[in-house]
Amino acid sequence: MIEELLRYQEEDGKLRAVEQEIAATDERKKYMAARKFMDKAPEKLDALEAKAVELRHMFDLLTKKYEELADTLKDYENLDEMIGEQGGEIAFYRRSAAQIADSLKGLRAEINKLAAQIETASKEFKAAKKQTIAMQKQRKEYKEKYEQVKAAHKGEIDAIEANLKELAKKVPADVLAKYSAKRKEKVYPVVCVVTDKRCPQCGMELSIAEIDKLSGGNFIECDSCHRILFKKK
């Protein structure tokens, strides 16, 4: 059985080589980069829009507070009249007016800062939206070119897969399932010959029981990397 599995792996190695060749092309790299960008674009745009809304809300609150304080300060414009009507020391009213003026100055600084942040956020959103539209067009273009690359290898891939289908008939279904699971994880080789009582890929030392099982012509699964291990007779 191990001979059939090795033949299957050898043919599968040809498929892997073609897959790696396709994966290394600029067409695929550009397409995958564009697709990755577009996958994250909606989330990024939503975050920028939410940030702009939050900044605008804070801007409106501070502006309203500023206007309220400005109206209050107007009441201190005629201090002599206030003293005459209410009595008290003019110094108290002047201190109050000065405190309000300081508060207005601080609020104005915060409002100006927020205004600058809003402008920056607006520019970021517009730039991100423009980039998204451009990348959307590029993704379509890159996908078409990537499909052309795959089409150029289709005959070769179909032939290899046909051979694999025939070879798979001679391999037990449960063993083939384990092999396929590792291949999906891009692990290769999946089937390895044991050297020096260790897994040749991950270096896991095998137990005496495992060595005995291998000596009997059987195969085992590595406890560490889960590759299929066998021992040459």
* DSSP 8-state class, residue 25: S
Quote the Cα angle for 179-181-184, to 5°: 110
pLDDT at 126: 93
The first and second tokens of residue 117, run together, are 């942040």
pLDDT-derived band of residue 98, with 50, 70 and 90 as boundaries? Answer: confident
Of 14 and 196, more confident: 14
pTM (two decimals): 0.68
| Other C-beta atoms lying within 10 Å of the C-beta of residue 58 | 15
Q: How many CA atoms lie within 13 A of 210 on its CB side?
A: 16
Per DSSP, the three-state class of 72 is helix
Q: For the segment 50-66, what is each residue's pLDDT rounded down to a tens digit?
A: 999 999 999 999 999 99
What would the mean pLDDT of 67-94 be, rounded to a whole number?
69
pLDDT cut 70: percent of the chain above it? 93
Q: For the segment 177-231, what is each residue's pLDDT rounded down to a tens digit?
A: 999 999 998 889 999 999 889 999 999 999 999 998 988 888 899 999 999 999 8
Specify burial of residue 228 (Cβ count, 10 A radius: 0-12, 13-18, 19+).
buried
156: Cβ contacts below 8 Å, ≥ 6 apart:
18
Distance CA 139, CA 30 (A): 8
Q: How many CA atoms lie within 13 A of 129 on its CB side?
A: 10
pLDDT at 133 over 90: yes
The first and second tokens of residue 127, run together, are 């730039």
Quote the Cα angle for 209-213-214, to 5°: 120
Of 157 and 217, more confident: 157
pLDDT at 84 over 70: no
Domains and CATH numbers, the chain: 25-162 (1.10.287)
pLDDT at 91: 73
Mean per-residue pLDDT of the chain: 90
Q: For the segment 67-78, what is each residue's pLDDT rounded down to a tens digit?
A: 988 888 877 776
Q: Provide the residue count of the chain.
A: 233
Phi-psi region of 46 (alpha: psi -120 to 50; beta: other; left: phi over 0): alpha
